[in-house]
């Protein structure tokens, strides 16, 4: 099981002083859930594109095998997803050859990479251990708005760096 589902800090939260647990107005509530569903749609594609970009950058090549190995997924699954990436104009490749990013894919990768880095550095600046920060950043990055990213960046700049 996942740490984030089974574990919980034992300290009390004093949330009774705050309305944080009251139901938001319906329309706002809908927007929240819609935002989450929306993020989920692109999440996996962003992860692929980000990983492909990193592989190209650090290993010169992005092969399906490497992706499968790093994502912990079968090659067949990678193949299928890559088809989708190509149909969305994010990736370019010849059969049985290395993968490349289109301009659009490049832009998405760069955005994802930057966002990932901001979240990761923020968590570390906050005092979270490296291993945990990496895991949490991977999951959180797709759900952090522009505004929050800016706040995180500022925080890291001002108080960060141990």
Report whether 120 contacts 134 (CB < 8 A). yes
Q: Give the CA count within 13 Å in the CB-facing half-sphere of 128.
A: 15
Out of 74, 77, 83, 145, point to the residue binding a second copy (CB under 8 A).
Answer: 145
If one asks whether residue 6 binds DNA (CB under 7 A), the answer comes out as: no
Residues 92-131, mask of contacts with DNA (x by CB under 7 A): -x-xx-x---------------------------------
Structure tokens at 124: 């570390």
Residues 45-74 as b or e (16 or more Cβ within 10 Å = b):
bbbbbbbbbbbbeeeeebbbebbbeeeeee
Q: Which of 13, 38, 59, 83 binds DNA (CB under 7 A)?
A: 83
Q: Does 2 bind DNA (CB under 7 A)?
A: yes
Q: Out of 51, 52, 55, 81, which residue is the one contacting DNA (CB under 7 A)?
A: 81
């Amino acid at each position: 099981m996942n740490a984030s589902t089974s574990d919980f800090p034992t300290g009390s939260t004093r949330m009774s002083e705050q309305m944080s647990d009251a139901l938001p107005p319906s329309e706002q509530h809908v927007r929240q859930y819609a935002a989450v569903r929306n993020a989920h749609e692109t999440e996996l594609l962003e992860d692929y594109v980000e990983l492909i970009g990193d592989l190209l950058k650090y290993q010169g090549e992005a092969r399906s095998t490497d992706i499968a190995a790093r994502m912990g997924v079968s090659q067949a699954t990678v193949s299928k997803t890559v088809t989708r990436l190509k149909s969305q104009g994010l990736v370019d490749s010849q059969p049985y050859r290395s993968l490349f990013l289109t301009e659009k894919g490049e832009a998405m990768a760069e955005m994802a990479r930057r966002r990932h880095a901001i979240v990761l550095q923020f968590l570390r600046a906050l005092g979270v251990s490296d291993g945990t920060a990496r895991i949490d950043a991977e999951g959180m990055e797709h759900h952090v708005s522009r505004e929050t990213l800016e706040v995180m960046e500022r925080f890291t700049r001002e108080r960060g760096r141990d």
